[in-house]
Structure 1
């Protein structure tokens, strides 16, 4: 891995939190992701399943984590299964986890080769009543591909029909949403790498640059700072491309007088950052562009203040909608009649700001985390309002990642990344 070794104290704490929520005489199993084929002998770069990483730190394929707090044999209360390595694998694929290294990474004393899983699993299942299956229940999931987790669940139900089954996801949603100090440090590193990429851009962007050239500059800076690269597919959207919310082609030339909306950020050690900035191609906002820009910035700043313990996510978004409505009236994009006659299910402001303002962020860009219960300290949320005006050939979104504090204002992990219009202009015209 490119990143520094993460202290295994993080994964030990995470497992303790998960096991404390398990039913008596229950087992939880977590599988790594598959290596997905492209065609011929090509595969996509491996990405670890975030749940097994969260609980073990194991960052390679063909890995299984088994948790059984009530196991009669103390050795089997935490077990990690990894692919057996040998000299041939080392030559062709590189270093893999040995049993000793797996213990150092995870803090798990009992490590077996993967080939021993069936035997050990059958043995512990004779002591267990319930099995926790790790299904994907994220509110935005739309997965059609069968995973190793899916195959395990199917096989387990056939092999052990008399057992009861439970879901690991509700536990993970609760505990993964509240970050440990080690996680916040990793996320800060991801945000700092993102800052370096953004600052690099400000002296690079000029009229007639191509969107993909901007993408390349960012990737260069991210990788040279020990990131694998982008935390998510980058959006580099100039001109009216910014009005396509998930524009990812990044294949157009940036013209003087236009804005570039960039929703792009680095990962570090599998932890995401999530940044949006909007800059002028020629280094100078027009008066109207700056007027809209500052309206978005005011909404972002006011919305950020609301991210405190006790806030309810759905109510928060309603309040942000009111802020945005006021700004859109000030910009003469809406009038009072539009608001009075609006559809409560799709308020008038949605014409110009149609997405949500905040989501959990962590090991996933759209991370696990409780959304229907009050916010807690050490949850990390994005704040990303935007105004999109196709008729004026511009879309503006601004986004930072903030940590909810026990008391006081949220802590902005991106506080050092330029965002004020004047600062951006100054940096773009410095040379």
Structure 2
């Protein structure tokens, strides 16, 4: 941050559904990352150069009372907030404007928090959005700066505590996947499989899925964001499972493709092994200094080679390909890796080299609508200072023999 500047971070709103119904509260990841506070109507102000030491870190919270405690459960007290965050100076929200005015008279620049993730596309106005409008109108003479680039760099490199939480999320996903392998058979419904996952996640202290799960049998696997999960699984089909648990707000992101009947056909094995080979080779490239864009070009070359082997492409397809949409994209149209952490598609500046302790997914796929199946395999890996990345999902079955053995045990 610039000298004589402060930064402000707001919690998320509780979003309405209709009548008096609301969605379950999900904390804004930035204020959670910086403070550990996981409740609505909270504000964090960071002011490193504040003249008064007590104002260098400030939390504003809704004042709890007996009525709130009875109807909703008690909110954080000031002592609780210190235990959670380590921040000594805690004010109630009713004092926000008065205290904020005082610190704003002592600073020159205010860092405002916006969402600049490359996939962000939200129409809903957030609490941060409303605060930015109010702050600019109330304090027009202050310089404005962006908190987001700083946060992207901070959040993309994981602390050992964060890696432990992500490992826990992956371990819960492992248990849920193994339960599913023993449950699946011809005739089950996709939503029943979802229920098996959810049961195992909840009983292991996860809140459930880190993202909307994909349980895609047969040709449903060729719809990349198929989330209806309402079809019956038929003998001979494959099921693409994109299903990761959350734990303590941290995400896991797993993809596996399994046979409804417990055995892969020869053709399914052939394609599966090609996807698995690309995944293994791509994983080796996730080392410090790798550029995300160049990495995807190289993975495209690996996939092209496999598609030629499978007879899905021929040399003419590759020689005549459009550089902006290479031939392999017909069968593998999405990216191979994204940052993961507090968000499933987490923060990280993609134009900067990869660093140790960043966590990426690796998720190649081959999608064959004409053959009635699609295969995607995905793990979450931590970039190491030296050597190959560490696979947080290294214990989750992925090889054909492992999966068939469990399903037929």
Name 1:349's counterpart in structure 2. 328
Q: Does 1:228 align with 2:195?
A: no
Say which of 182, 188, 195 aligns to 2:174. 195
Matching of residues 259-270 of structure 1 within 5 Å: 259-270=238-249
**Corresponding position of 1:327:** 306
- CA deviation map 1:384-403 (0-9, x unaligned): 00000000000000000000
1:418 is matched with 397
Residues 1:109 and 2:91 are matched in the alignment: no
Contact 2:8 2:43 in 1 (8 A): yes
Which residue number in structure 2 is paired with residue 123 of structure 1?
102
Tell me whether 1:278 sits opposite 2:257 in the alignment.
Answer: yes
The list of structure 1 runs, each at least 4 consecutive aligned residues, that deviate by more than 6 angstroms after superposition, is none
Is the 2:152–2:348 Cα contact (8 Å) retained in structure 1? yes
Quote the residue 1:12 is aligned against. Answer: none
| 1:63-98 alpha-carbon deviations (Å, 9 max, x no partner) | 000000011111000001111101110100012111
Deviations 1:165-218 (A, max 9, x none): 000000011111100000000000000000000000010000010000000010
Aligned partners of 2:316 and 2:135: how far apart in 1? 59
1:222 partner SS? helix
Deviation string for 1:83-130 (max 9, x for gaps)?
110111010001211110000000101111111111110000000100
CA-to-aligned-CA distance 1:1-48 (integer Å, 9 cap, x gap): xxxxxxxxxxxxxxxxxxxxx110101000000000011110000000
Question: Take 1:355 and 1:105, find their aligned partners in 2: how far apart are those partners?
Answer: 39
The aligned counterpart of 1:388 is 367
Query: Which TM-score applies when normalising by structure 1?
Result: 0.95
Q: Could you tell me how far apart the structure 1 residues matched to 2:389 and 2:52 are? A: 45
Aligned 1:147-296 pairs, distance under 5 A: 147-296=126-275
Structure 2 gaps of 5+ residues are none
Aligned length: 409
**Partner residue, 2:339:** 360
Partner deviation per Cα, 1:282-338 (whole Å, 9 max, x = no partner) = 100000000000000000000000000010000000000000000000000000010
Q: How does 1:12-51 map to 2 (within 5 A)?
A: 22-51=1-30
Secondary structure at 2:401's aligned position in 1? helix
| Helix, strand or coil at the partner of 1:203 | helix
Give the distance between the partners of 1:87 and 1:216, measured in 2 at CA: 37
Q: CA RMSD, aligned part only?
A: 0.5
Unaligned stretches of 5+ in structure 1? Answer: 1-21
CA contact (8 A) 2:65 2:74 kept: no
